[in-house]
Amino acid sequence: MIEASNLSKHFGAKTVVKDLSFTVARGEVLGFLGPNGAGKSTTMRMVTGFIAPSSGDAKICGVSVVDHPKQAKSHIGYLPESAPLYDDMTVFDFLKFCAEMRGLSGSAGKDAVGEVIDTCFLDNVARQSIGTLSKGYRHRTCLAQSLLHDPDVLILDEPTDGLDPNQKYEVRNLIKRLGKEKAILFSTHILEEVDAACTRAVIIDQGSIVADGTPEQLREQSGSNSLQDLFRSLTTKETD
């Protein structure tokens, strides 16, 4: 459902992503691992059509993001890094606004908003203004907007960033549950996310994939049955 083919991105003389290819099938949760500055967010922005690749393409449910961006994006639920919110709106009103932007109005919009509020455990703060929310609830509100239109593909950039241990547990379980029916790509630099939520993971360093496999395969590749050892051996190069 996600097919990235030879994606590259240059910012001036700097190459951030280099000829990168991968796929994510329905029922698969792919963890996108790498140190800060490795090219994770840039790759996800290209896959979602948020920025154009310098070369290569990505297809979402068979639709090219480069050639048919609007159609491709209709299949995507996207949680960007540091997703924007309107602090003066309540959680309910913000999600209602996002639903309308997705073409969901009337009873369909109301049902969609109610469902994501339940799914993301936002019932207690649904009528509260976003500006008064904790970082964890703000993050869950951002996650909820990505689910409103029941997308086939979820692309989540650091979905557990800033959450406390209980909130991380809830979000990881939600990702695992949603991943049974959708194709999910999410980036992280937290290695424990792999065992907690992923069916497969890739490690990216300096814009290139340096490892790809199930959690078990990656641990075997390390030689010490340690994902941390593998990660350190493949990503110790400077990425700034």
Query: Is beta strand 76-79 parallel, antiparallel or unpaired with respect to 153-157?
Result: parallel
- Scan for tokens 């029941």, then name that residue: 150
Determine how many CB atoms are found less than 10 A away from the CB of residue 187. Answer: 24
Determine how many CB atoms are found less than 10 A away from the CB of residue 229. Answer: 14
φ and ψ at residue 32, rounded to 5 degrees: -105, 100
Please give the C-alpha separations between residue 234 and each of 136, 154, 209, 211, 240, in angstroms, as whole numbers: 32, 27, 10, 8, 16
Spatial strand order of the sheet with 55-60 comes to: 14-24, 2-11, 55-60, 63-64
pLDDT range class, residue 160, cuts 50, 70, 90: confident
Between CA 179 and CA 3, with CA 214 as vertex, the angle to 5 degrees is 60
> Please, what are the domains in the chain?
1-75+152-240 (3.40.50.300), 83-150 (no CATH)
pLDDT at 17: 97
pLDDT-above-90 percentage for the chain: 77
DSSP label at 124? G
Nearest to 155 by CA among 139, 140, 167, 143: 143
The neighbouring-strand residues paired with 4 are 22, 58
pLDDT at 238: 55
pLDDT in tens, 24-53: 999 999 999 999 889 999 999 999 999 999
pLDDT range class, residue 239, cuts 50, 70, 90: very low
Q: Judge whether 75 and 61 are in contact, CB under 8 Å.
A: yes
Nearest to 182 by CA among 212, 147, 217, 158: 147
pLDDT at 236: 67
Token pair for 179: 């991943």
Helices (H), the chain: 40-47, 69-73, 91-101, 106-119, 135-147, 165-178, 192-197, 215-222, 227-234
Q: What is residue 47's three-state secondary structure?
A: helix
pLDDT at 73: 95
pLDDT in tens, 184-228: 999 988 888 898 899 999 999 999 999 999 999 999 998 899 999
Please check the confidence at residue 78 and state whether its pLDDT lies above 60.
yes
